[in-house]
């Protein structure tokens, strides 16, 4: 009986082993089958391989055209050893602000990093204005580690572009492409020197085109991309898959100061026009139409009986301007300029500015529900003087940049006609006015003296002493306010 039980037990063990081996074999087959099924198709890997190789080749061609730009400038601060004491609220009750400027001035060197793009074999380099602004020295480092001293040829704060030059020949100039041909979704590469890391390349797509009202420059038509752009990338290249320059990397949208997936580049078409004007004339010459315009809203379209949903609405025509001579009238809706569709007031401003003075173009308008063609010869945009109160005026308004308030600026900033004064275009961080004055403030009075033009501003500011307090009446965000600035 016991022998029989042992035989049965042995048979059960053998059966278990056989079943186990069978299941294991089936599992192995299933694993192999699943592994085969999860393989990337060969055609896809071939395509991705070709794409990767192509991008590598583009990078190798373009990298030598992008340079590292480092700048230094002198910053002056007042050193007050008793600043903590006199900033105390209790001390202020007795001493006021009279001792805030006590102490010797202290000067130190401030350095910054950026990028640039070689656009000619003989040394012209395109970059951002904010990269080289107020620089005492500009050092340019090439891809092959050669170093050169950069010379400023011209700047254009209105687009945040600048042209510098180095004394070198046979440089690897980049090919400038057509930014107008870009489409949302196109692959692009961003090349620059973020955080001083030379020749860094990131990849992304065109997220949007024609971005305006970003608050970076007066003339905005930005390419938005998700290619990583960080501090130090400014002035670098945004290129398409053919290795052509389609944009100049300029800014990012960020709450942390670093990359958050939203970067902005100036279109190459705009950059090329500005660059050519600077190189040829030493300044930017823009076309001028002579109309005050605003965007078209559904409410306005209904009021004017306009069926179109795009265009720029004429609110005023400047006397003796090219527009007046061509027959433009208030209430005209400009829908096409020189064969190109006008999306809004910003696109029209950019189109007119990029058209050389003296060129005759056809403009399609909608008037009283009917379309008509007007022929206009553009004039030269009236120069607006810009000044900076800096070392020349040793007072609280040093580091404040102002400019004339033009009709175009009024329209774009919605500043009423009755508001007179000079427009604040920038305030340096080291200026005593920093945190008090803001960009796009209109200065109407200084120490109760009326300001209408740049010359008024200069005359009044030149009489302000280094230790004088200043009272200003400004127009800001639809209202009037008084502000004081102390040394």
| Domain CATH code at residue 237 | 2.40.10.10
The pLDDT of residue 48? 67
- In this structure, the answer to whether residues 395 and 426 fall within a common structural domain is yes
Which candidate in 65, 70, 115, 130 is catalytic?
130
- In this structure, the answer to whether residues 405 and 356 fall within a common structural domain is no
- In this structure, the answer to whether residues 131 and 193 fall within a common structural domain is no
Task: Please check whether residue 48 lies inside any domain of the structure.
Answer: no
- Beta carbons within 10 angstroms of residue 273's beta carbon: 22
Task: Please check whether residue 47 lies inside any domain of the structure.
Answer: no
Task: Please check whether residue 130 lies inside any domain of the structure.
Answer: yes
Task: Please check whether residue 170 lies inside any domain of the structure.
Answer: no
- In this structure, the answer to whether residues 118 and 99 fall within a common structural domain is yes
Task: Please check whether residue 51 lies inside any domain of the structure.
Answer: no
- Of 357, 380, 403, the last residue of a domain is 380
Instruction: State the pLDDT confidence band at 99, using cuts at 50, 70 and 90.
Output: very low
The pLDDT of residue 391? 39
Residue 301 contacts residue 309 (beta carbons within 8 Å): yes
Angle at 220 between CA 458 and CA 307, to 5 degrees: 120
**484 burial level (CB within 10 Å; 0-12, 13-18, 19+):** exposed
- In this structure, the answer to whether residues 13 and 84 fall within a common structural domain is no
Question: Which single residue is written with the structure tokens 């003075």?
Answer: 357
Which candidate in 234, 347, 412, 425 is catalytic?
234
Residue 407 contacts residue 476 (beta carbons within 8 Å): no
Which candidate in 156, 160, 269, 441 is catalytic?
160
- Say if residue 10's pLDDT is above 60: no
Q: What is the pLDDT of residues 197-224, one digit of tens each?
A: 888 899 899 999 888 777 777 788 889 9
Structure tokens at 139: 């050092």
Q: Where are the alpha helices (DSSP H) in 164-307?
A: 268-281, 298-303
- Give me the phi and psi of 91, to 5 degrees please: -65, -35
Listed in sequence order, the residues at least 6 apart from 358 whose beta carbon sits closer than 8 Å to its beta carbon are 377, 378
- In this structure, the answer to whether residues 76 and 139 fall within a common structural domain is yes
| CATH number, position 363 | 2.30.42.10
- Say if residue 29's pLDDT is above 50: no
Give me the residues paired with residue 19 across strands.
none
- Of 350, 380, 410, the last residue of a domain is 380
Catalytic, 160? Answer yes
Task: Please check whether residue 35 lies inside any domain of the structure.
Answer: no
- Say if residue 66's pLDDT is above 50: yes
If one counts the domains in the chain, the total is: 5
- In this structure, the answer to whether residues 321 and 406 fall within a common structural domain is no
Distance CA(387)–CA(461), nearest Å, equals 12
Catalytic, 254? Answer no
The pLDDT of residue 80? 55
Task: Please check whether residue 171 lies inside any domain of the structure.
Answer: no
Residue 107 contacts residue 165 (beta carbons within 8 Å): no
The pLDDT of residue 184? 93
- In this structure, the answer to whether residues 390 and 480 fall within a common structural domain is yes
The pLDDT of residue 22? 55
Q: What is the pLDDT of residues 284-321, one digit of tens each?
A: 889 999 888 888 888 888 777 778 788 988 888 888 88
The pLDDT of residue 37? 59
- In this structure, the answer to whether residues 325 and 391 fall within a common structural domain is no
Nearest CA to 344 out of 480, 206, 238, 221 is that of 221
User: Higher pLDDT residue, 442 or 228?
Assistant: 442
Count how many Cα atoms sit within 13 Å of the Cα of residue 486 in the half-sphere of its side chain: 7
The pLDDT of residue 92? 46
- Of 380, 395, 419, the last residue of a domain is 380
Judged by phi (left if over 0) then psi (alpha if -120 to 50, else beta), residue 235 lies in left
Task: Please check whether residue 136 lies inside any domain of the structure.
Answer: yes
Looking at every residue in the chain, the average pLDDT score rounds to 81
The pLDDT of residue 15? 59
The pLDDT of residue 414? 80
* Over residues 425-440, mean pLDDT: 85
Catalytic, 130? Answer yes
- In this structure, the answer to whether residues 306 and 337 fall within a common structural domain is yes
pTM beyond 0.75, yes or no: no
Q: Is 388 helix (H, G, I), strand (E, B) or coil?
A: strand
Provide the domain limits for residue 469.
Answer: 386-485
Nearest CA to 329 out of 304, 350, 347, 309 is that of 304
Residue 425 contacts residue 442 (beta carbons within 8 Å): no
- In this structure, the answer to whether residues 373 and 347 fall within a common structural domain is yes
- In this structure, the answer to whether residues 327 and 413 fall within a common structural domain is no
* Over residues 115-133, mean pLDDT: 93
């Amino acid at each position: 009986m016991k022998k029989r039980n042992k035989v049965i037990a042995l048979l059960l063990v053998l059966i278990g082993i056989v079943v186990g081996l069978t299941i294991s074999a089936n599992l192995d087959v299933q694993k192999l089958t699943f592994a085969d099924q999860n393989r990337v198709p060969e055609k896809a890997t071939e395509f991705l391989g070709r794409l990767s190789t192509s991008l590598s080749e583009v990078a190798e061609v373009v990298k030598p055209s992008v340079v590292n730009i480092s700048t230094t400038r002198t910053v002056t601060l007042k050193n007050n050893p008793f600043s903590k004491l006199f900033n105390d609220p209790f001390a202020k009750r007795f001493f006021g602000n009279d001792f805030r400027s006590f102490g010797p001035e202290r000067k130190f060197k401030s350095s910054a990093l950026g990028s640039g793009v070689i656009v000619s074999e003989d040394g012209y380099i395109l970059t951002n204005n904010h990269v080289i602004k107020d620089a005492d020295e500009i050092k340019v480092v090439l891809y092959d580690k050669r170093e050169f001293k950069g010379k400023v040829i011209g700047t254009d704060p209105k687009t945040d572009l600048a042209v510098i030059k180095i004394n070198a020949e046979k440089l690897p100039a980049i090919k400038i492409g057509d930014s107008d041909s870009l489409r949302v979704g196109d692959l692009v590469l961003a090349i620059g020197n973020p955080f001083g890391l030379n020749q860094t390349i990131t990849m992304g797509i065109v997220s949007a085109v024609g971005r305006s009202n970003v608050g970076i420059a007066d003339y905005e038509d930005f390419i938005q991309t998700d290619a990583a752009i960080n501090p130090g990338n400014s002035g670098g290249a945004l290129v398409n898959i053919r290795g052509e320059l389609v944009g100049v990397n300029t800014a990012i949208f960020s709450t942390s100061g670093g990359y958050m997936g939203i970067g902005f580049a100036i279109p190459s078409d705009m950059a090329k026009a500005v660059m050519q004007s600077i190189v040829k004339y030493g300044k930017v010459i823009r076309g001028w139409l002579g109309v005050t315009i605003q965007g078209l809203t559904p409410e306005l379209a209904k009021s004017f009986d306009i069926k179109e949903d795009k265009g720029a609405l004429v609110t005023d025509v400047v006397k003796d301007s090219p527009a007046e001579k061509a027959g433009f009238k208030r209430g005209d809706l400009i829908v096409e300029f020189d064969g190109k569709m006008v999306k809004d007031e910003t696109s029209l401003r950019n189109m007119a500015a990029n058209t050389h003075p003296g060129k005759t173009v056809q403009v399609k308008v909608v008037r009283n529900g009917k379309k008509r063609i007007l022929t206009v010869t553009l004039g030269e945009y009236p120069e607006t003087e810009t000044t900076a109160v800096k070392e020349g005026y040793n007072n609280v308004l040093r580091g404040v940049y102002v400019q004339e308030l033009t009709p175009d600026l009024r329209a774009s900033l919605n500043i009423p006609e009755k508001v007179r004064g000079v427009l604040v275009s920038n305030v340096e961080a080291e200026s005593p006015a920093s945190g008090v004055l803001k960009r796009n403030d209109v200065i109407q009075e200084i120490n109760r003296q009326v300001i209408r033009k740049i010359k008024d501003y200069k005359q009044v500011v030149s009489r302000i002493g280094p230790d004088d307090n200043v009272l200003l009446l400004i127009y800001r965000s639809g209202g009037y306010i008084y502000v004081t600035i102390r040394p």
